[in-house]
Chain A
Amino acid sequence: MDSIQPQEFLLLVPEIVLASAGMLLLLTGTLKTSNGYRLCAAISLAALALTAVLLLIQGIPGAPRVILSGMFIVDGYSFFWKLLFLVASAFTVLLSDRFLSDGGYRPAEFYSLILLATTGMLFMASGYSLLSIWISLELMALSSYILAGYFKHQTKSNEAALKYFILGALSSGILVYGISLLYGATGTIQLDELAAALPAALALETGSRLAAAGWLLLAMGLFFKVAAVPFHVWTPDVYEGAPTPVTVFLATASKAASFAILVRIFYQALPALAPDWQWITAAIAVVTMIWGNLAALTQTNVKRMLAYSSVAHAGYVLIGVLAATEDGLWAVLFYLFAYTFITIGTFGTVILLERKEYAGETYSDYAGLAQRSPFLAAMMLVFMLALTGIPPTGGFFGKIYLFAAAVESGWIWVAVVGVLTSAISLFYYIGIGVQMYLKESGDDTPSALHAPGLVGTIAVCAVITVLLGILPEPLVQFAKSSLVGLL
């Protein structure tokens, strides 16, 4: 391996800036100012924007560049994800402001942990060695555990953090055990070297056993992180108990980051095992879609319903992963991009209707919303239609592309399950629409739209959701172009 050249660090500037901003935020926690909330949110947003600008200046290199002794890769694929993570984090910051000040929770550490977790995601997107991928995954996960428990005087938040921590630590252990077995079989943890060494290892008897155990454990750990059935048990409790902005963060950025490394590991390190992981992923995707949608049907708490719906959507994304074609992959990117905005918008609406940390989360709280606040009801309806996959929304094209990719690559039965479960999902998504438009409201207090940041976020997300449903082509081109060099 070559020694590290100093100029390689120039490619790390976005990550370095973001991590430094996270540390700077910790310092602002010691200031005695009256408007600490505004200040911390402003610093975080500025840092995320600056990182995005630096990333755009850096751009996509013509050919993928592997630097820092094979630990870090700069390519179109990492570029796509990094932009998505930065956008999702920025929206999380916008959603958090009112939540923190209402509860009187300290802002400095909260935003600092958000930025550190985002830094971890950026490193995940660029990880080219199982070691650097795993460590950055831990950076993201550890920050998320605490964020989930940030309302530390609320039992539900404690429960969420504890469950997330214990199960997350367990899954990390499984993941790293799988990595160690793969290292034992092939003698390397760098993705391209692993892919090259795997066929020889599979030819040996012990090597193939080690490799099989290794990749199965690794895949289990990854399925756990993306919350696929049967590794999803932590999701409903964590999504329900965590402060809602944190739930947004987990359901969008964190989930997308886990998918980013799952795809990269499957495609760049384990192509020799493609028929095996395609079958396993197909089985998991089918179970995930069925179970996620059926469980979501029975919920009465909206956050819990959305948690199960997020499980179900992980199943849809897995359809694109298992197709193992270029079409499947850009469909995955497209879907997660659209899903991020839809989810942020949905949870943003939930946040606006919440009062005092957890009140206002049940279905009946949405009764008669159309009279109380026609704007919010319309927004929510758009997001519910998008989650179901009804045109003209981004969710429609996302699902069409995924199912089409599966059909083209011969996984027709998986696509059929996807279509059928989407039909099931219509019941619970439209259930909210029925509450909003057809039920009478219990209380007549008009919903206050007193948080401009929140309302703006929701409106932007709704516009993007609809735009993606009318003009999907630019995003499709972007997703396609970012796959150069991956396959």
Chain B
Amino acid sequence: MEMAVFLLFAALALVSSLVVVLHRNPIYAVMSLVVTFVSIAVMFVLLGAPFLAAVQVLVYTGAILVLFLFVIMLLNVSGDSSRGFDLHKALAAVVAAGFALLLLTLFWGRYHGLDLSPLQESDVALKPLARALLDTYLLPFEIVGLLLLAAVTAATVLARRSQDTSS
């Protein structure tokens, strides 16, 4: 069962990330990046790290991708802006291929055949994390809350339309 779920979402992650690269319309590309990230979140669940999965969905899917979508929609980028082959694409391809090669050699060269123990449950479990955040680091945690409030206030001050200046 676990294997089936793994294979399904591994395939989904691969296919959707191919779509990200290959699709002409940037909105579809970003949407399929959502699928990639959710599939990776499922991998984290399978590895016994539910908190990482939740963070993956919240931060990457929830926040960063929505930002991407906003930018794309605001700039009104329609598809097909750059077809054919240019220097940028060649450079990107070389960098990506080099990075993939590096990762592969690392995994094969250093870790192949080694008995790698998976993450301990206690390393990623929610309880110690919650304990750390709400007990040891309670005060910084609360001040971060105030900090975020100040940031939101600051954003509204800057973004407010100019005619609405007096109360």
Using CB atoms and an 8 Å cutoff, list the residues of chain A in contact with chain B.
Answer: 1, 3-4, 19, 22-23, 26, 29, 31-33, 36-37, 68-69, 71-72, 103-109, 112-113, 116-117, 119-120, 123, 129, 131-132, 135-136, 138-139, 142-143, 145-146, 149-150, 152-153
Asked whether B158 lies within 8 Å of A32 as measured between CB atoms, the reply is no
Known: A109-B156, A109-B157, A135-B144. 12 other contacts (CB 8 A): A1-B136, A68-B139, A106-B160, A106-B166, A116-B149, A123-B139, A123-B143, A132-B139, A135-B140, A136-B143, A139-B146, A145-B154
B153 is an interface residue with CB less than 8 A from chain A: yes
Asked whether A113 lies within 8 Å of B146 as measured between CB atoms, the reply is no
CB proximity of B31 to chain A, nearest CB, Å: 32
A109–B149 Cα distance when bound, in Å, is 11
B139 contacts which chain A residues (CB < 8 A)?
Answer: 68-69, 71-72, 123, 132
9 nearest A-B pairs in the assembled complex, by CB-CB distance: A36-B167, A146-B154, A71-B139, A104-B165, A69-B136, A104-B166, A135-B143, A68-B139, A116-B150
Asked whether B150 lies within 8 Å of A113 as measured between CB atoms, the reply is yes
Asked whether B146 lies within 8 Å of A108 as measured between CB atoms, the reply is no
A276–B166 Cα distance when bound, in Å, is 53
A149–B151 Cα distance when bound, in Å, is 14
B70 is an interface residue with CB less than 8 A from chain A: no
CB proximity of B11 to chain A, nearest CB, Å: 39
B147 contacts which chain A residues (CB < 8 A)?
Answer: 135, 138-139, 142
Given A109-B153, A112-B153, answer yes or no on A4-B138 (Cβ-Cβ < 8 Å): yes
A33–B162 Cα distance when bound, in Å, is 19
25 residue pairs A–B, Cβ–Cβ below 8 Å: A4-B138, A31-B167, A37-B167, A69-B135, A69-B138, A71-B139, A103-B165, A104-B165, A105-B166, A106-B157, A106-B167, A108-B167, A109-B157, A113-B153, A116-B150, A119-B146, A120-B143, A123-B143, A131-B140, A142-B151, A143-B150, A143-B154, A145-B154, A146-B158, A152-B162
Determine the residue in chain B with the shortest Cβ distance to A150: B157
A4 contacts which chain B residues (CB < 8 A)?
Answer: 135, 138
A71–B138 Cα distance when bound, in Å, is 9
User: Of B135, B149, B156, B167, which is within 8 A of A33 by CB?
Assistant: B167
B137 is an interface residue with CB less than 8 A from chain A: yes
B167 contacts which chain A residues (CB < 8 A)?
Answer: 29, 31-33, 36-37, 106-108
A33–B157 Cα distance when bound, in Å, is 19
A158–B165 Cα distance when bound, in Å, is 17
Determine the residue in chain A with the shortest Cβ distance to B154: A146
Determine the residue in chain A with the shortest Cβ distance to B162: A153
CB proximity of B103 to chain A, nearest CB, Å: 26
Asked whether A139 lies within 8 Å of B166 as measured between CB atoms, the reply is no
Asked whether B165 lies within 8 Å of A105 as measured between CB atoms, the reply is yes
A135 contacts which chain B residues (CB < 8 A)?
Answer: 140, 143-144, 147
A3 contacts which chain B residues (CB < 8 A)?
Answer: 135
Interface size on B, residues (CB 8 A): 23
Asked whether B157 lies within 8 Å of A146 as measured between CB atoms, the reply is yes
CB proximity of A302 to chain B, nearest CB, Å: 27
Asked whether A139 lies within 8 Å of B143 as measured between CB atoms, the reply is yes
A150 contacts which chain B residues (CB < 8 A)?
Answer: 157
CB proximity of A360 to chain B, nearest CB, Å: 22
Determine the residue in chain A with the shortest Cβ distance to B159: A152
CB proximity of B136 to chain A, nearest CB, Å: 5
Determine the residue in chain A with the shortest Cβ distance to B147: A139
CB proximity of A175 to chain B, nearest CB, Å: 15
Determine the residue in chain A with the shortest Cβ distance to B164: A106
CB proximity of A11 to chain B, nearest CB, Å: 11
CB proximity of A58 to chain B, nearest CB, Å: 17
B138 contacts which chain A residues (CB < 8 A)?
Answer: 4, 68-69, 71
Centre residue among B140, B144, B147, B156 by max chain A CB count within 10 A: B140
Asked whether A23 lies within 8 Å of B149 as measured between CB atoms, the reply is yes
A143–B137 Cα distance when bound, in Å, is 23
CB proximity of A397 to chain B, nearest CB, Å: 36
Given A36-B167, A106-B167, answer yes or no on A120-B146 (Cβ-Cβ < 8 Å): yes
A36–B139 Cα distance when bound, in Å, is 33
A4–B5 Cα distance when bound, in Å, is 43
A461–B156 Cα distance when bound, in Å, is 35
Centre residue among B135, B139, B144 by max chain A CB count within 10 A: B139
CB proximity of B156 to chain A, nearest CB, Å: 7
B143 contacts which chain A residues (CB < 8 A)?
Answer: 120, 123, 132, 135-136, 139
A117–B151 Cα distance when bound, in Å, is 11
A112 contacts which chain B residues (CB < 8 A)?
Answer: 153
Given A69-B135, A104-B165, A107-B167, answer yes or no on A142-B140 (Cβ-Cβ < 8 Å): no
A143–B158 Cα distance when bound, in Å, is 12
Determine the residue in chain A with the shortest Cβ distance to B155: A146
B150 contacts which chain A residues (CB < 8 A)?
Answer: 113, 116-117, 139, 142-143, 146
A457–B146 Cα distance when bound, in Å, is 30
B160 contacts which chain A residues (CB < 8 A)?
Answer: 106
B149 contacts which chain A residues (CB < 8 A)?
Answer: 22-23, 116
A119 contacts which chain B residues (CB < 8 A)?
Answer: 146
Q: Which of B91-137 contact A (CB under 8 A)?
A: 135-137
Determine the residue in chain A with the shortest Cβ distance to B143: A135
